[in-house]
Amino acid sequence: MERVYIKDLEVSEEEVLLRGWVHKIRDFGHIAFIMLRDKSGIIQLVCEKEQIKGLRLENSIEVVGLVKENEKASKGIEVEVSSIEIVGKTYYDKLPFEVQSYKNKTGLETQLDHRTISLRIPKVKAIFKVQNEIEEAFKGYFKSHDFEQIHTPKIINSGTEGGSEMFTVNYFNRRAFLAQSPQFYKQMMVGAGFEKVFEIGYAYRAELHNTWRHLNEYVSLDVEMGFIKDESDLMDVEEDFLRYMFEHLKETCSEELKLYGVEVPEELKIPRIPLAEAQKMLLEKYGKKSPVGNIDHEGEALLHKYIKEKYNSDFVFLTEYPVSKRPMYTMEDEKKPGFTKSFDLIYKGLEITTGGQRIHDYEMLKERIVGAKMKLEDFAFYLDTFKYGMPPHGGFAIGLERITMKVLELSNIREAALFPRDIKRLTP
């Protein structure tokens, strides 16, 4: 008999085979109910008293039974059990916390200490269904728009921004680094003739942060495209992708979104505001002073409040960052010297994207590297591509955990990481 997933159950005259975990047991003496949980959902099993003998919560079991209609059951159906077999025993005195409740109150640290148990909580598991579909939407959108997927090295010879805040690796007695981003390589792939590329991969930041919005290992959704006019082309693409993503989430994650009480926007038009203008607004409206060439987290939260009131948008593109506050490969705006053709995307008060046009001229890029007091020989592998007709190009990167956190309005980014790595956590 072939196994059927709970999501695919329907009333039939034939018995079905189910597999999963014992989610709840309710014993009424003459009859018992088991809530069976598999990867696709939860279903009620109707059992005789003898059939539940020896069963414990979280046993993995194999069940054979008939699917019956029951209007009172959550899905309008239940399974009348003919046989149950325990295929995975449990060995515990007490579960570390309750798995059965949708309103689990266990602290995040405890949940992370017992991560594979916390992931059995339906509401926690729902986070990763949504995250999986965000990733699927990203891949689907860019594949359908003639981008090619690439995979670039995560052990590299030099840092994309000069080697600061990077983890070092002993690479056969040579000093190497864990990549902060695929920045150099995705640019090189544009120059290699791929023109438009994307990557889904881990990135590493050796930042001494211990906050609700920082991870030291995270998943980056990277995009790079050639033959652009300027950074506005990139913002257009990202905005269009976000529309596609939200439509995809409505189709694939309606139950998960409902579980978190969130609604995705019906329409999306993202305002674009120069950084200096946003800083001026924050000072005049809220008395908030911003750091030079940037907006801190408190400013991002106030900016979201303002943008929501004025534009009814949870998103805003901040543009025209100073050259001094951007990586050396960022294109300077020839019409506004001292400012770059770059942007950040702020979503519900949190930066989720940095992007912009890159320098594509070989001599200009060499000059910028030297000006940043970096050694040209460290970047020879990267610079070489720019000798051979590198087109105008640019790109952006979205933090997968950050966008997941904001879509579901989670309170801590570690909730959106299967096995988070932060300044204190190296296990599980």
Specify binding-site residues. 161, 205-207, 213-215, 351, 354, 358, 399-402
Q: Which one-letter DSSP state was computed for residue 47?
A: E
DSSP H helices in 269-379: 275-286, 297-311, 362-371
CA dihedral 289, 295, 297, 298 (to 10 degrees): 30
Q: Which one-letter DSSP state was computed for residue 185?
A: H
Asked if residues 348 and 304 have their Cβ atoms less than 8 Å apart, the reply is: yes
Asked if residues 180 and 354 have their Cβ atoms less than 8 Å apart, the reply is: no
Of 186, 182, 183, 184, nearest to 202 by C-alpha is 182
Beta-bridge mates of residue 45: 34, 79
Of 252, 11, 290, 263, nearest to 130 by C-alpha is 252
Give the helix, strand, coil percentages of the chain, each rounded to 5.
35, 30, 40
SS (H, E, C) 318-333: EECCEHHHCCCCECEC
- What per-residue string of b and e applies to 44-81 under the rule 16 or more CB within 10 Å gives b? bbbbeeebbeebebbbebebebbbeebeeeeeebbbeb
Of 327, 330, 323, 303, nearest to 314 by C-alpha is 303
Binding residues for ATP, by number, are: 205-207, 213-215, 351, 399-402
Of 232, 205, 208, 236, nearest to 220 by C-alpha is 205
Asked if residues 64 and 1 have their Cβ atoms less than 8 Å apart, the reply is: yes
Of 402, 408, 406, nearest to 125 by C-alpha is 408
Q: Is the previous residue joined to 428 through a cis bond, with omega within 30 degrees of 0?
A: yes
Binding residues for L-aspartate, by number, are: 161, 205, 354, 358
